[in-house]
Structure 1
């Protein structure tokens, strides 16, 4: 097995489809949502109040800052998919070009990086989630099967004289920064 996709065990028999390329020359494999969900618009709740305060250079309270952070927090859209690859490869998760233009949806981190040792990690089996923020005016309904991102397998290089990390991945999403 060199590289590919599998369905995470909790989504077996739930109609999840493996990512696929749309055309012969597509670089990216389309990832779809594994669930129905709503991606709320950032323009709701207390976000506008915070923007108003910032614009008028008012002092923000801790409660206002906390409320703004909750509104701007990215949502994780589950895909029900895990990816296996060679140790010198990475799966880059990128936005679909139509998402910002037609749906107001962006990846707040620019790209997602799925390391080869994320596959089958003990925390979440290596399930891939796509981070999204909706900057559109209205909430965005995401339906199971809607294409939300694309994955591109790529080789990577390491620096000369690198001291190899001894740590072994024990956890899932965002765990290596701890």
Structure 2
């Protein structure tokens, strides 16, 4: 599948798979340099805009290595990129770690997954069909 992309910063690579054919997510790169202090969050731009077709959305996910090694993750994971959005993709990072975390222009800061989704219409009813679970919610199955 081909998706149109516009590079706003030619010095950065396009999002790419580290292991083609094996990875679901493509790395996103920071267009900016900055420091995240413990507990701080900030938007980092990626230098790209994309044009997704109807029925597809982009999802910005954390990089597991940043989370495990530094406590840095995507604050609004999964960040959703709607098919009608044409602005620059940004990533809201938060530092849950104990030390300052420096991001340098060109660092891999998140991963982008493109997925197809189903558009739905609501069918309003007076009664839903029964299920084994029923209305059991948070913690209803025990520890």
Please, which of 102, 108, 117 is the counterpart of residue 147 of structure 1?
A: 108
SS in 2 for 1:110: coil
2:5 aligned with 1:5, yes or no?
yes
Structure 1 segment 20-169 matched on structure 2, within 5 A: 20-24=16-20, 25-42=22-39, 74-119=41-86, 126-160=87-121
**What's the RMSD between the two structures over aligned residues?**
1.8
Q: Name stretches of at least 5 consecutive residues in structure 2 with no aligned partner.
A: 124-143
Does the aligned pair in 2 maintain the 1:31–1:148 contact within 8 Å? yes
**By how many angstroms is 1:2 displaced?**
4.3
Distance 1:4 1:30, change over 3 A: farther
Does the aligned pair in 2 maintain the 1:91–1:154 contact within 8 Å? yes
What TM-score do you get using the length of structure 1 for normalisation? 0.63
Aligned residues: 122
Between Structure 1 and Structure 2, the one with more strand by share is 2
What TM-score do you get using the length of structure 2 for normalisation? 0.78
More displaced stretch, 148-157 vs 102-111: 102-111
Does the aligned pair in 2 maintain the 1:2–1:86 contact within 8 Å? no
**By how many angstroms is 1:157 displaced?**
0.8
Distance 2:25 2:14 in 1: 13
Between Structure 1 and Structure 2, the one with more helix by share is 1
Q: Name stretches of at least 5 consecutive residues in structure 1 with no aligned partner.
A: 43-70, 120-125, 163-178
Match of 1:57 in 2: none
Which runs of structure 1 show a deviation greater than 6 angstroms over 4 or more consecutive aligned residues?
none
